[in-house]
Structure 1
């Protein structure tokens, strides 16, 4: 047999060890690289997934839940929502009509409400943005810096910069009027009972269920109060986490959330 008859490069995955014996070689991946065991690949994928989740939470999207009836009927208790964090990056700022999530500005929440998840697993999910965190509120922006918000006109509507706002698109249907809870307690439709100017860099926010919402109107300084900061009851823009853009759970409530056109005719503050 000539040298041409021999196969110097076996291609059947075995190696000649002499005396006619052949042994199996180690399985190699593409380009001759050694393949990792399945459990190691799974662990690496899990770490990558968690890293991406942390990144999403830090810069893009975060999950929250609705803790009370204050935003009914649109958002109900225990609904899960997604917040877009980059909505107000750069020169973007919250606009009238936006539903926003913000950090508690001045003790609006009780200790229990601000606590957040208590179990270790829920805490871990919260850190990567897969579980709602505590210490936040969800409200609708009614006035931005410089706006004058008054309540109410003859039809019980809020007025912003002198223009009455038709909020029927999202307000609770059984609300007596658009008046905030604090005003309704004194006067069922609260006409001419509220008159505030929103400080620059702050927001005036309210719940859609005006009869059950501890919002800006409830936390304002009372007339004649002493030692009460002028920004009490307003929300610093810096406290805003982002704009709510989707209701994702339960699936029966799934909905895209956008800014209503109720404030389109409101002029800029003078």
Structure 2
């Protein structure tokens, strides 16, 4: 009977010799299907279904277990390392904390204050401006005879990452009064003058102090600030060893711009003294800037040159045209 079914399917397309339909033989096993004895569409469908069911019945391995989160104690050294790197980068290129060791900047700054110094703008070529409070390296032994700190291990570590000032670095903090090209003078008890313009220093000079000191050591002066330097003074005029009293050094009391660490912008500590350190309004008055003498002396020559050049070009063109004729 099985032979008849196969013969009828292959020879007469599903009919016997009498024209009656013959039922297709259903394969009894997978081996009959894979032998290739049938070629109809129905068989193809059954082949696919049979194989799919066989694949579904195959045993599968155990599902992968989810990874356990890393322990906090294992991540802590990584976090600390990242924090230290960021702190060093900030200290080197952005902001650094400095402590005020004396009373030379009272009442603007008190002894023990912590200020944040902007170290970023000098990297882009910015130079100190009049009225700014700046931190700078000791230009030429200004701190001679001053006691040196003896920090403990914790203080040394905090200074290394920039959270405390370094005891090894000899830095000072003063207010910039004159910049390159300025003439700064102070006679009698004041006022302090820049390029002939008097400053109103009452808002920041220590109460009871006069802008000038009546002494023979440097309280009376008139100086011309060279380019690339600044003239600095403390707000506590009678208690500040600043440019006035260091005119015998190699810079004549001036501070080279390259020695300026940055501008103090904020009083960060203690909390009850949080404040910014803006430039006083008196430094914004008109006519304070020095007249550029070099530009004034060159200006007439420049005007003459502007007038001569067109005439010379016109004459040269006429000569060229005449030669071609």
TM-score interval for Structure 1 and Structure 2 normalised by the shorter chain: 0.7 to 0.9
Q: Which has the higher contact order (CA 8 A, sep 6+)?
A: 1
Q: Is the 8 A contact 2:134 2:175 kept in 1?
A: yes
Which runs of structure 2 are paired with 1:1-270 in the superposition (5 Å)?
8=60, 10=62, 28=67, 35-110=69-144, 112-113=146-147, 115-116=148-149, 118-134=151-167, 135-152=170-187, 156-175=190-209, 177-179=210-212, 183-186=213-216, 193-221=220-248, 229=250, 231-265=251-285, 266-270=288-292
For the residue of structure 2 that corresponds to 1:139, the secondary structure is strand
Unaligned segments of structure 1, at least 5 residues: 14-24, 30-34, 222-227
Bigger radius of gyration: 2
Runs of 4+ residues deviating >4 angstroms? 2-7
Unaligned segments of structure 2, at least 5 residues: 1-53, 293-325
Figure out how many residues of one structure are paired with residues of the other and give that number: 234
Q: Is the 8 A contact 2:104 2:234 kept in 1?
A: yes
Please report how far the alpha carbon of residue 77 of structure 1 lies from its aligned counterpart in structure 2 after TM superposition.
Answer: 0.2
Q: Is the 8 A contact 2:132 2:278 kept in 1?
A: yes
Please report how far the alpha carbon of residue 186 of structure 1 lies from its aligned counterpart in structure 2 after TM superposition.
Answer: 4.1
Q: What is aligned with 1:224?
A: none
* Separation of aligned partners in 2, 1:252 and 1:49: 27
For the residue of structure 2 that corresponds to 1:53, the secondary structure is helix
* Separation of aligned partners in 2, 1:74 and 1:108: 21
* Separation of aligned partners in 2, 1:92 and 1:234: 18
For the residue of structure 2 that corresponds to 1:100, the secondary structure is strand
TM-score by length of 2: 0.66
Please report how far the alpha carbon of residue 161 of structure 1 lies from its aligned counterpart in structure 2 after TM superposition.
Answer: 0.7
Please report how far the alpha carbon of residue 216 of structure 1 lies from its aligned counterpart in structure 2 after TM superposition.
Answer: 0.4
Note closer, same or farther for the CA distance 1:112–1:213 as it changes in structure 2 (3 Å cut): closer
Q: Is the 8 A contact 2:182 2:289 kept in 1?
A: no
Cα deviation digits, residues 21-56 of structure 1 (max 9, x gap): xxxx5x505xxxxx4332220100000000000000
* Separation of aligned partners in 2, 1:166 and 1:118: 40
Q: Is the 8 A contact 2:114 2:269 kept in 1?
A: yes
TM-score by length of 1: 0.79
For the residue of structure 2 that corresponds to 1:89, the secondary structure is helix
Q: Is the 8 A contact 2:230 2:254 kept in 1?
A: yes
